[in-house]
Amino acid sequence: MTQTPLAEVPLPAPGLLIGTDRLAESSGGSAVHRFPATGEPDQPIPMAGAREIDFAVTAATAAAAEWRALTPDRRRDALLRLADVVDQHGDELVALSIRDSGFPLRIAALGPSRASGGLRYYAGWADKIVGDVVPTWSGPAFDYAVSEPIGVIGFFATWNTPVYNLGLTVAPALAAGNAIILKPSELAPYAYLRFGELCLEAGLPPGLVNVVPGGAEAGTALVEHPGVGKVHFTGGGTVGRRVAALAAEHLKPIDLELGGKSANLIFPDADLERAVAVSVDSIHGGSGQTCITAGRMIVHESVVDEVVEIAREQIARHVLGDPFDAGTTMGPVITEAARTRILGMVDRAIREGAELCAGAAAAVPGPGGDLAGGYFVEPTLLVGVHPDSELAQTEVYGPVLSVSTFGTESEAVALANGTPFGLSSYLQTRDVSRVHRMAARLSSGSVYVNGRGGIGPGMPFGGYKESGYGRLGGREGLMTFMQSKNVWISMDDD
């Protein structure tokens, strides 16, 4: 990476990226992006409407045909080139993702290597997609099945980890032979727009990756357009339900990666410092704004006092401040509305009987100075949270930890599984037999034991229950962007 001062990296020129064209004006109007750390507005962001979605589908359809016609080794090599280009421009992508979401440097800096790593992983799959020869009976015939790309994939792109997420979404879709339409929200347009430019610089066909920031009008048009073969949605459950209903109305396949309410089960035999850090670090890195945040600490009653004290000490060591500062461990939340919502949930939990052990129950002014207008929330620890309360059942998407207690394994499982969500679970114990017993009983798509494993490109990732369906990562993450075709050939010579 070049060592450009990150805060000085210029924003991409505003405009939609469709093929090689940058559209500075669009039928969807414009929106203002605000840097979450200061609340200051950036340049207006053109927003796609139905017309621009149609333009993007036309460009993607042409590029998909060109991309599919390439031999697998050429698609593999193109993805490897793109991975190299992402690494070379990593500092820009880091800076832009900080401007997008306010995530601190220590977290944003992971994005480019995770994106390029995913591209390299799936480049390795591009020339290894095979079919099957199928046994037949009731007459001589030859039957085979092949996996083919779907064509054009519409992505509702997440705002919280834009660069990190590319290796799990765009990479497998491209390796499978598809073209892409990325629809970021106005909350985080910059890193996606720069990535689209890098795809062109890496020599990918124009129109293979299109970036069209937009709101509800663009989202509706993307789902309804007959040229879009599949939709992948990452976001909250409320919007996800609407998108899924619209996709069903148009008989369009969709994958949903929705929210979570991850439990961190802490047993007395665990390394308590490490066990607590799993939760504390998860609310600091992205201000609790990730779907696998370990926000619910469910602690054995014999060690709860010790765990609470450790949590308070760890929270106190973290630094709230400028996300571009390497010393900052926690930045702002994404918007003023998000801050208001989070603080409202904390206030209601306290009124319902939870004890505030760290953080603030009222509006937080933030670090002050140049950051006084930012959307900061202090890391908050609440003890004695009732399992049926709003705070225990609803995704906070903010830097809030809750503590509940259990006495037996069965109670721990019931509490962990006792929400509508099922994305991830965390288990802290040295008892290997307990690990296997508990992992089998936890209703979540991922179980992390004695640490935070993240989301590697080879790991199938997705949710149970209201956390969605479909998988990213590994072979499953590739095949979700393909469709099977069966070919039956009669060998009867009569």
Per-residue pLDDT of the chain (494 residues; tens, 9 = 90+): 334 567 788 888 889 999 999 999 999 999 999 999 999 998 899 999 999 999 999 999 999 999 999 999 999 999 999 999 999 999 999 999 999 999 999 999 999 999 999 999 999 999 999 999 999 988 899 999 999 999 999 999 999 988 999 999 999 999 999 999 999 988 999 999 999 999 999 999 999 999 999 999 999 999 999 999 999 999 999 999 999 999 999 999 999 999 999 999 999 999 999 999 999 999 988 999 999 999 999 999 999 999 999 999 999 998 999 999 999 999 999 999 999 999 999 999 999 999 999 876 444 455 777 788 899 999 999 999 999 999 999 999 999 999 999 999 999 999 999 999 999 999 999 999 999 999 999 999 999 999 988 899 999 999 999 999 999 999 999 999 999 999 999 998 86
Structure tokens at 355: 């004890």
Contacts of 166 (CB under 8 A, 6+ apart): 86, 115, 118, 119, 195
Which class is 263-457 in CATH?
A: alpha beta
pLDDT of residue 453: 80
6-258 carries CATH number 3.40.640.10: no
Tell me which H or E stretch contains 41: strand 41-46
DSSP 425-444: EEEE-S-HHHHHHHHHH--S
For residue 410, the SS3 value is helix
CA distances from 164 to 261, 324, 448 (A): 21, 17, 19
One-letter amino acid identity for 338? A
For helices 409-417 and 432-441, angle between their N-to-C axes, nearest 10 degrees: 40
Contact (Cβ atoms closer than 8 angstroms) between residue 419 and residue 257: no
263-457 shares the fold of 6-258 = no
Q: What are the φ and ψ backbone dihedral angles of 21, each rounded to 5 degrees?
A: -90, 140
- Among candidate residues 197, 257, 395, 466, the one labeled active-site is 257
CA–CA dist 396, 295 (Å, integer): 8
Contact (Cβ atoms closer than 8 angstroms) between residue 478 and residue 128: no
Q: Among this protein's residues, is 409 annotated catalytic?
A: no
pTM of the model: 0.95
Q: What are the φ and ψ backbone dihedral angles of 487, each rounded to 5 degrees?
A: -125, 120
pLDDT of residue 3: 41
